[in-house]
Amino acid sequence: MNTKTKYKAKKIKIVFFDIDDTLRVKDTGFIPTSVQRVFKDLKKAGIKVGIATGRSPLGLVPEIRALKPDYWVTINGSYVEDAKGEVVASQPISEEQVAAYKTWAAQEGIAFGLVGKDQASLSERSSLINEAIDIIYPDLAIDPDLDQKEAIYQMWTFEDEGQELALPEDLAQDLRLVRWHPNSCDVVIKEMSKAVGVEKVLVSLNLKPENLLVFGDGLNDLELFDLAGLAVAMGGALDSVKEKADYVTKTVEGDGIEHALVEMGLIPKILQFPQLDLSQAKGPVVQLETNLGTMKIQLFPDHAPKTVANFLALAKDGYYEGVTFHRIIEDFMIQGGDPTGTGMGGESIYGSEFEDEFHEELYNLRGALSMANAGPNTNGSQFFLVQNTGGTYNKKELERGGWPAPIAAYYAETGGTPHLDRRHTVFGQLVDAASLEVLDTIAQVAVDPIDKPLEPVVILKIEVEE
């Protein structure tokens, strides 16, 4: 995401979402769990949320209603209400225009639909109509005279794919066609659109378009994109929508809405901290066998891919066999991985030093496996295991320093070396108490004035459990 988009995001005070293939996958009804989190976090940040859809209130499924937005812009802007059900805007099609439209549809030989605030109906049923409408409005009744019972806000055409349609002059003065399906168009009041409905909300809140962020994927979102200060297209959006967007995010299934809002800084990123719940960790586990015991280590390839690949390749090649832990400092760490045993040697599989891979979900906690280095981006083969047992850190002070609360609590209660965070790449974690026992045993060996063990602590082998 570029700097300009992030700057625009600082002005956002209200966010509107399309429904189909934006909040929800139209074909399956799937809504990511992250969507609920998004709505709550935006509201918590003081940002209002709304839904802008071509659907009538009748077509709002329970899962969408459960999001409890501050505003509903429905029927392509013709009917707008707030969370309390108070009407912000209402513009039905005149009775004369509805009657004229029905006459024209009969002349053209096409089926039609009528959409009120509380009901919708079809003039007939066919496989073509069923395919187009049932996924959004299932089980609609056949009632070509719904207009005799309630106000009509929108109408539909149902025609063969590729069939050219143009409203007659008397209707085209006030109405227009907006295609939403290969076999169907919305028939709406000429000046009405999602953008018009959203603009009425902005006016009611005394907000400007620059305060508006919109998410969409289809043709009926383009006018919203023109209105908004910031527009985001979903990963599965039409190319024409992507071209007009300020930013193209991931798909619905890929938590695209959450991803974009986190990138913009409008909601916080949820961090997982795999070191705190190793039962959920993904990646290989290694058994590091020494002459003083064996330590089992969970690796984190999703977080530090290049570092893990380096360690695994060296381990499988036998590079570490017979290598000592050449530097041991009790209540700090044990360091090894240098075939020369001096702390000055060792090579990576890449033929040279390689870059750091710091990750906001990994920290130098007690039991962490980290890369030793001689400064930024100087990783080779050397690594260390953090042994510090804690008691010297204050949780609140660490939080004030920017450490996440769960990590600060672990440092305070269990130990680690927070001063090494963002200086050394963390890429693994001891998995059990037995491994920590071995770590402590090694840390307690006698050493000389330069922290080299008097009796060698040797890596016998490293076995990889894929």
C-alpha atoms less than 13 angstroms from C-alpha of 311 in its C-beta half-sphere = 32
Residues of the chain with pLDDT under 70: none
Contact between 273 and 256 (Cβ < 8 Å): no
Task: Please identify, in words, the CATH class of the domain defined by 95-189.
Answer: alpha beta
Q: Is 453 helix (H, G, I), strand (E, B) or coil?
A: strand
Amino acid, res. 296: K
pLDDT of residue 208: 97
pLDDT of residue 76: 87
pLDDT of residue 269: 87
Contact between 53 and 73 (Cβ < 8 Å): yes
pLDDT of residue 58: 85
Task: Please identify, in words, the CATH class of the domain defined by 3-87+193-264.
Answer: alpha beta
CB within 8 A of 225, min separation 6: which ones? Answer: 214, 216, 231, 233, 241, 244, 245
CB within 8 A of 184, min separation 6: which ones? Answer: 132, 133, 156, 157, 158, 159
Q: Is 152 helix (H, G, I), strand (E, B) or coil?
A: strand
pLDDT of residue 161: 78
pLDDT of residue 180: 84
pLDDT of residue 220: 85
Q: Which of 18, 186, 338, 356 is catalytic?
A: 18
Each domain of the chain, given as residue ranges in start order, spans 3-87+193-264, 95-189, 274-465
pLDDT of residue 392: 83
Burial class of residue 412, CB neighbours in 10 A (0-12, 13-18, 19+): buried
Pairing of strands 459-465, 87-90: unpaired
Three-class HEC string of 70-113: CEEEEHHHCEEEECCCCEEEECCECHHHHHHHHHHHHHHCCEEE
pLDDT of residue 11: 97
pLDDT of residue 395: 95
CATH architecture of the domain covering 274-465? Beta Barrel (2.40)
pLDDT of residue 126: 95
Orientation of helix 33-44 relative to helix 256-264, angle to 10°: 30
Question: Is 18 among the residues known to form the active site?
Answer: yes
What are the angstrom distances between the C-alpha of 243 and each of 207, 218, 225, 240? 26, 12, 11, 5
pLDDT of residue 16: 98
